[in-house]
Structures are given as C-alpha cells and as structure tokens.
Chain A
Amino acid sequence: MTALHWVTVSPFLLAILIPIIYKYTKRIHTGWFVLPLPLILFIFLISNLPDISNGDVMHYSMPWVPSLGINFDVYLDGLSMLFALLITGIGTLVILYSIYYLSKNSEKLNQFYVYILMFMGAMLGVVMSDNLIVLYVFWEVTSVSSSLLISYWYQREKSIQGALKSMYITVFGGLSMLGGFSLIYVMAGSFSIREIIANVDLVTTSSLFVPAMLLILLGAFTKSAQFPFHIWLPDAMEAPTPVSAYLHSATMVKAGIYLIARLTPVFGGSPEWFWIVSVAGLVTLLWGSVSAVRQKDLKSILAFSTISQLGLIVTLLGIGSAAIYFDGVPDELYYTAIMAAVFHLINHATFKGSLFMTAGIIDHETGTRDIRKLGGLMTIMPITFTISLVGLLSMAGIPPFNGFLSKELFFTGTLNVMNYEMIDLSTWGIIFPVVAVIASIFTFLYCAILFFKTFTGKFKPENYDVKVHEAPVGMLISPAILGALVIIFGLFPNILSYTIIHPVMTSILPNITEQIEVNFSLWHGFNTELFMTFIVIAVGALLYVLMKKWSQTQFYLNERDPFNNLYDHGYNGLIKGSQAITRVQMTGLLRDYFVYMYTFIILLAGYTMFRSDAFAVDTVNVSEISPYMWALSVVFILATLAVPFINNRITVIVVVGVIGFMMALFFVQFRATDLALTQLLIESVQVVLFMLVFMHLPKLKKEVFKPGFSLVNMGISIAVGAFVTIMALSAFAMGSEAGFDTIAEYFIANSKELAGGYNIVNVVLVDFRGLDTLLEILVLAIAALGVVSLIKLRFTGREDV
C-alpha cells in the first residue's frame, strides 16, 4: 500500500468510522470530522502537482486477483490528477457547505456522510485506477452511492423515483461498459490501460473494435447524461443541494467524460469514434440548452444546463480525437478542441458548483426554488447575488470570466472542423459551428432567465413562508471560493496552462506531446469567434426581451422532457409486458404444465433421435408370441382404451384394477413369479385404497364425472405413446446390434454359490443389490409417515400456515 493507494482507500475507512463518531459526538456537527480528509488529500495531491506538470507519472501496483490480471494499480498522470483535484477540492468545499446546509438536529448525518465518503472514495478510485476491472468496480460503487445520496430523503416519493431512475440508467450503462472492457481484454490481453495503449495496434486491427467501442461509450454516455440517457439527471435534483453540487455538476457526471478522455488514445483516430462522440455531444448540447430554457425550477435549469455543458465537452473530445487520426501532423487545428475540452471541464466544475450552492442557499433561505415565485432578491441577499452573477456570466460566456475563454475556444474547435480533411467535413462540418452558436444562444437565454427572474424585479414577501435573509457566512464560503476561482481563471488562465492542462493533453494525446502549445489570451483580436459571441449575446438578449411573447406557448409551459414519457412508457410497458407474458404461460393449471413438459420432451428427444438418425426396427431377435399373449394383450389394450371413456369413477377404479391384474398375468406369462405375486397384492391393496379415497370425496361436488375432450391433449398423448414405442423399438434394435452380454448370467451362475439361495430375484434384492431394497423400504416408510401427517396432523383451518 503506497500513499496513492491510501488516497483511494482512506474515504472508505473514514466512512466506517463515521457512525461511531456520530453516535458519541451528537453535539458537534459530524461534517467537521469529515472535512479534514478531503482537505488533506487535496493538499497531498497538489504537493505532487509539480512532478506531474514536469511530465512525470506516478504508478504503483498492488496485486488483487493476479491470476485474472486484476491488480489494484493506481496511476496518476495529468488527467487523473485533474480529476482527483476536482474531486478532493470541490469535495472539501461541498462538505464545508453541507455542514451549514444540513441541520444536525433534524437530519440523519451519519448516513449522509457515509454515503458521500463512499462516493468520494469510489470517484478517486475511478480516476486513479489503471486496471479496467478495478475502474469498473469503483464505477459501480459511484452508481450505488449516488443513488443512496439521491434518495437521502427517502420519505419522499420523488426522491425514490429519481434514485431508481438514475440507478437503472447508470447501471445499464455500467454493465455494457463491463462488456466492452471484457472485449478489450480479449483483444489486447490485458486490463491495464497503459499496456493497452502501448499495444494499441492489437485493438485497432481487431474485428471487435467497434463493438467494444460502442459498449464502452454506452457506459460513458449514460454516466455523463448524454442524449438520450440524460433524463435521469434532472430527476436526481431531488437530492440535497450539496449532493447536486458535488455529484451532478463536478464529479460523477464527469466520470463518463474521464472515461472518454482516458480511452481516446485507444479508440480515438477512428472515424466511428469521431462521429459518435462528437454528434452525441452536439445533440446533447443543443437538447440540454433548449430544455433548460423551459424549466421553472432553479435546480432543474441547472441540471439541464449541466447536460448541455457536458455535451459541449464531449463534442470537443470527439472533435479533438481527430488529432490522432491525422497522426504526426503537429497542427494546432486538431488539438485545440482537446485543450478547450479540458479547460471547459475545469471551468464548468467551478462555476456550476458555485451556482448549485447559491441555488441551494436561495432554496434554504426562501423555501422555494420556483422562478415564478422568486424575484427581487438582489438587495436582500447581496453576497449570494454577487456569486450567482459571476457564475452565470461565466456560464453564459461573457468576458472577463473563464466561461468566455472556454466558449471562444469551443467556437474555434468547431470552426476548425470545417478544415478537417476527412470525408465530407468541408461541407458537413458547417453543422458544428452552427449548432454551437444556437446552443450558446439558448445558454445565454437561460442564464439570463436564472439571473433576472431570481434577483431582479419586485420582492414579494407573500410568496415565501419564511422571513428571507442572507445566508450564514459558513454557507457562503464555498460558493465564494468557487466564484473567486472563476474570476482568477478568467483573468489569469495561463496559470492553468502548463501546470495542469498540458499534462492532461499529454495523457489524452500521448503521441504528439512535444508540439502542443497551451496558451490562453483573454483578448485575441477580432476574429470569427468573437463575432459569433456577439451574435450569441445579441440574439440571446433579444429572445429574453421577447420572453413575454413566447412564454405563453406550449413549448415553454410544458416543461417535462419528452424522453421522460418514453422512459415511463417503456418502464411501464416492460412491467406490463412481462406480466402479460407470465400470465400467458403461468396459467396455474397443472394440465397446462403437463402439456408443456410432454411437448418439450417429445420435441427435444424426437429431434435428437432424428438428428442422430436413431430410428430402427429389428425383427431378427423377436421371440415367438404365444396365443395366451395375444389374448392377454387384447384384453389389456381394450381395458386401457376404455378408461378415458368411462363416466363413472367407481367403474374407472374397477377397470384400472383389471389392467393391474392383466399386468400380473403378463408377469406370470413371462415367468416372473415374485413380480406376479407382488403385483396381485399391490393391485388389491391399491383398489381398496382407491375405494377408501373415493368414499371421502366431498359430498357437495358429487356431480357425474365427465371426461373432457381436447384434440390437443389427444394429439399429445398419441405423440407421447408413439414416441415411446418408437424409442423402445429403436433401443431394442440397437441393443441387439451392440451385442453385449447381459449381467444376468452372473447372477444365475452365482446365486447359490455366493449367496446361498435359489430364488435369484430375492437374492438380488436382499444380497447383491441390498442397498436398493434398504432405501426402497425407507421410501415406503416416508410415504406412510406422509399419509399419517397429512391426515392426522392437518390444520383445522384456524392456524396460520
């Protein structure tokens, strides 16, 4: 266990201690005991940042299941470092925020901090593990712990719904991702990401390349709420706000992005990857930004905004993967998109975290998150207002905040697509910047709505249940720090460029390291991107001014995402459909189950015989048939055939008795004296038993028994009979062909010699095969006990079963 291993494991260890701490320190908020851990981890990681910036990587291995190639390898390069810093850094701020957000008197804090520590450890594991299976394990722990966090207020119906939905969707993606990882193992023979990247030729030349890619992307897209799997994210807003800020803006939703970035060296460079990733990102970007405008709830707007921004980052990663396609061409044209993606990733985590926290403050202090009720909070909550303004301006892409820079870079990246020398990109590539501009307009619009509807206008005290005032200082620290970072990264973006962004790009594009230049400038002259920004601001402002007109349309009023209906219908349909299927075959009638079983046996065994061509009839070894046999057989067959047509139960019993006695006569005919004796006695006892049971049939139902007739039943019974006959004939033919001696010769020769008896049947029963007899009398004994307990010990109807 090295220091890096402890980094991943320590949140889990602390999570174990939390319930104990909580129990004995009720007077102190449990959050204070949690707070130091992410802070220490953050400081530890940032102390290693200079090494990472110099291009070093940290890699430590620990065997877990070495026989399967599964090792708990931690690997820290630029990309992992960035994510680990986000997780620990924002984790610290979120825990600080939660100490003031969640009351220690009314909330179950032990559960909250256990879940959040589990989540933090799992996220650290996802980003730091080098082994795909370990990554997958942590990945699923994030799914589980995030569901637990979403349903933290489990008394509410909507929390449970949201948790289930996110669980279903992310676990569905997680499982397909596991499939993709397994395919990678099949191709490359290793679970280690570094080794896979080193032997990337094995993967790219394999026929499993595309299936593996699709499965893994399914996992990444479901986790990162890409279209059309984004629907779980808005419903996850039922979670406490610190959770939304942490999971649904900064960390978990970026796990998918991490995976895409991490595997870009493996899959990137193929046209499929380029198209799937960038188009999925574009659609998500557009869909999220348009849907965000329609929402009325602060956190819903932020959720759709997160979806849209994640789409933006994914688009950029897709576009940037072309850098590997044009391998060896050290052109800024191709890698700018990756740079923009990384930069925006950081920016989004900062401003979205602060926005969620301010939304939480507004909710906490006013009791509502509905923008139709809110308004005029600017003077009442000045600090919240300031932090929100910074975050919103950054999100809308207004200078001088960091969002502006990342949006300019985003435009550059999309414009570059038109210059790619790939199939049709010079004509179709125009879609990228156009969608980017439209989405940015909507982004601007919902930022404006968020800002003006919340903070400007007239303050109406009657809308709120509580007396509205500014939040306590402790709650404001975290959003203020994030807001400050927004400004710092906006004004001095280059402090990030070679410390973190360059190593991250090195991780994503390992083959074109040296040539990458990372440089941001706040002012880069009048170029196309700037004009696009002007268009965005102008059209966005115009749309906001005209909001009164379009806010009455169905588009705005009907806020629910249409894909929710699809999901709900699919979910209900799945349950209804499986119930319908179950009802079709699980009739509860024993008769039907017999039909299934017999049909299946006939089909299976018949097909097997047909396949192996086992039908045979052999008349060579057939013995002569005596007249007695003929007579017996005729009576036997007639009696058997008569049974289904008899309408009286007693007659049926008598006829069955006749069949039994015929059987005894058969035994006599075949010189089986013991069998004949036993059969006669058993048959007599059995008839007596049948009669006894018949006497006990309930009086109420003493209607005349009428055998039902069904063509299907007749067909099946004829088929079973015919099949058994054919099988017996074929077995006989094969047996005489095979020419094995029977074991009976041995018994005949040794019955007197070894066992001292002349009755071979009896000798076999008690001596040669005595164990069978022992167990058969056990069966008899059990049957007798069963009868006794069924009849003597039955319930009188009052007892509970």
Chain B
Amino acid sequence: MKQLKTNNVMLHTLVRIVSFVVLAFSIYLFFAGHNNPGGGFIGGLMTAAAFVLLYLSFNMKTLKKALPFNFDLLIGGGLLIAFLTGVTSMLFGFPFLTQFFEYVQIPFMGEVELTTALPFDLGVYLVVLGAALTIILTIAEDDK
C-alpha cells in the first residue's frame, strides 16, 4: 500500500509568506544593531530560524533546492570577514580590531552612519547562521 502523503496546504501557504517576514525582520535586526536592539548574533539566529521554519514545513530536499548554499562555507567566510576587519586596522598602524565610523549624507537616505563594526557584525551574522543551520540540519539529516 502506498503511504499517504499529507498535503499541508495551509502550512505551506503560511510559511511561504511568514518566512519572508521573518527574513526581512532578521535583516532589519542585523542592520539596526548599532543603535537599536539587534545585531549580528540575533540577526543570524533569526535568519536561521526562518530556514528552520522552511525545513519543518517542507523537507530537506526542497530546502536544499531553494537554498543551494553550502552552510559550512558561511562559517569559514564569516570568520574570515571578522578577522580581516581586525587585521585591516593593523595595516594602518592601529591595534588589532580598532573600529572606525563616519556619518555621511547619502541622497534619499539622509544621514547614514558607515562603520567598520558593520563588516565585523556581518562576520558574526554569517558564522551564527552557518553554525546554527549546520548543527540543526546535520542532526536532522542523520535520519537513516
């Protein structure tokens, strides 16, 4: 007898919408970090949560098809970015991990703060995202 496959139309439809909201919120949290609650860690976790949501409602195959990344590379890349941020300041004769910031006027966006803390936070974001997804999906995939 062929196993019946449940058709979670409601869930799938909802997740398709909600995951975009969650992803958008996670990106907001990431960029808001310097002046409001948020930052790379929370943003990364939130993004991971959105992907986990996708995984829970669909399945591994679909997720892999939708996100054809290797999450291991995110970890390495994030670490590299965070580390290089620190090294860059050394190139200019400052101690390791000295951060700089500048306020600039950009058309349509008004006063915007540009800071070297942002790439550092991006490194944190990528490592957290990669690590959380790697851990969860590795354990989940081990279903044989």
Chain A residues proximal to chain B, CB less than 8 Å: 673-674, 677-678, 681-682, 684-685, 688-689, 692-693, 696, 755-759, 761-763, 765-767, 770-771, 773-774, 777-778, 780-781, 783-785, 787-788, 791-792
Contacts and interface: CB of A to CB of B under 8 A. Distances in A.
Range for the number of chain B residues in contact with chain A: 35 or more
B97 A689 contact: no
Contacts of A778: 79
Contacts of A689: 135-136, 139
B139 to A, nearest CB: 5
B45 A681 contact: yes
Given A678-B42, A689-B135, A771-B96, A762 B82 contact: no
A791 B139 contact: yes
Contacts of B140: 692
Given A678-B41, A692-B136, 13 more contacts: A677-B42, A678-B45, A681-B46, A685-B52, A689-B139, A756-B34, A756-B103, A759-B36, A766-B39, A771-B96, A777-B123, A784-B130, A792-B138
Contacts of A757: 34-35, 101, 113, 115, 117
Contacts of B131: 777, 780-781, 783-784
Given A685-B49, A696-B142, A759 B136 contact: no
B78 A777 contact: yes
9 contacts: A685-B136, A759-B38, A759-B39, A762-B39, A770-B97, A774-B82, A774-B120, A781-B130, A784-B132
Given A689-B135, A689-B136, A781 B39 contact: no
B124 interface: yes
Given A759-B34, A762-B38, A783 B135 contact: yes
A225 B108 CA distance: 101
B37 A674 contact: yes
Contacts of B54: none
Given A685-B49, A756-B115, A766-B99, A784 B39 contact: no
A771 B99 CA distance: 12
A775 to B, nearest CB: 10
B39 A787 contact: no
A491 B131 CA distance: 96
B49 A681 contact: yes
B64 to A, nearest CB: 15
B27 interface: no
A238 to B, nearest CB: 61
B37 A777 contact: no
Given A678-B42, A685-B49, A696-B142, A755 B99 contact: yes
A761 B42 CA distance: 12
A692 B56 CA distance: 11
Given A685-B49, A780-B127, A784-B134, A693 B139 contact: yes
A788 B97 contact: no
B42 A759 contact: no
Closest 9 CB pairs of A and B: A756-B101, A757-B34, A673-B37, A784-B131, A777-B127, A681-B45, A758-B35, A780-B131, A784-B134
Contacts of B52: 685, 688
Contacts of A787: 134-135, 138-139
Nearest to A763: B34
Contacts of B124: 766, 773, 777
Contacts of B86: 770-771, 774
Contacts of A756: 34, 101, 103, 113, 115
A774 B97 CA distance: 10
B144 to A, nearest CB: 11
Interface string B20-39: 00000000010001111111
A780 B79 CA distance: 10
B39 to A, nearest CB: 4
A688 B45 contact: no
A727 B107 CA distance: 57
A672 to B, nearest CB: 9
Contacts of B135: 689, 783-784, 787
Interface in B73-132: 75-76, 78-79, 82-83, 86, 96-97, 99, 101, 103, 113, 115, 117, 120-121, 123-124, 127-128, 130-132
Nearest to B83: A774
B34 A762 contact: yes
Contact of A681 (B42, B72, B115, B138): B42
Nearest to A673: B37
Contact of B48 (A685, A692, A761): A685
Contacts of A784: 72, 75, 130-132, 134-135
Nearest to B33: A762
A756 B35 CA distance: 9
B128 A777 contact: yes
Contacts of B83: 774
Contacts of B113: 756-757
Contact of A755 (B37, B96, B117): B117
A770 B42 contact: no
B106 to A, nearest CB: 16
Contacts of A677: 29, 37-38, 42
A758 B38 contact: no
Contacts of A681: 42, 45-46, 49
A792 B131 CA distance: 15
A696 B138 CA distance: 13
A373 B36 CA distance: 103
A681 B40 CA distance: 13
A682 B34 CA distance: 21
Contacts of B33: 759, 762, 766
B75 A781 contact: yes
A781 B127 contact: yes
A94 B35 CA distance: 93
B79 A777 contact: yes
B72 A788 contact: yes
Given A678-B45, A759-B33, A774-B82, A780 B39 contact: no
Identify the interface centre among B117, B123, B132, B136: most chain A CB within 10 Å of its CB.
Answer: B117
A55 to B, nearest CB: 76
Nearest to B135: A787
Residue picked from B34, B52, B130, most chain A C-beta under 10 Å: B34
B109 to A, nearest CB: 17
Nearest to A674: B37
A31 B132 CA distance: 74
Contacts of B99: 755, 766-767, 770
Contacts of A783: 131, 135
B45 to A, nearest CB: 4
B85 to A, nearest CB: 8
Contacts of B42: 674, 677-678, 681
B69 to A, nearest CB: 14
A759 to B, nearest CB: 5
Interface in B49-64: 49, 52
A410 B83 CA distance: 87
Contacts of B132: 685, 784
Contacts of A761: 39
A481 B115 CA distance: 98
Nearest to A756: B101
Given A759-B36, A762-B39, A781 B79 contact: yes
A685 B56 CA distance: 12
Given A755-B99, A756-B113, A777-B79, A766 B38 contact: no
Contacts of A682: 45
Given A678-B41, A681-B49, A685-B48, A755 B82 contact: no
Contacts of B76: 781
Contact of B142 (A767, A773, A791): A791
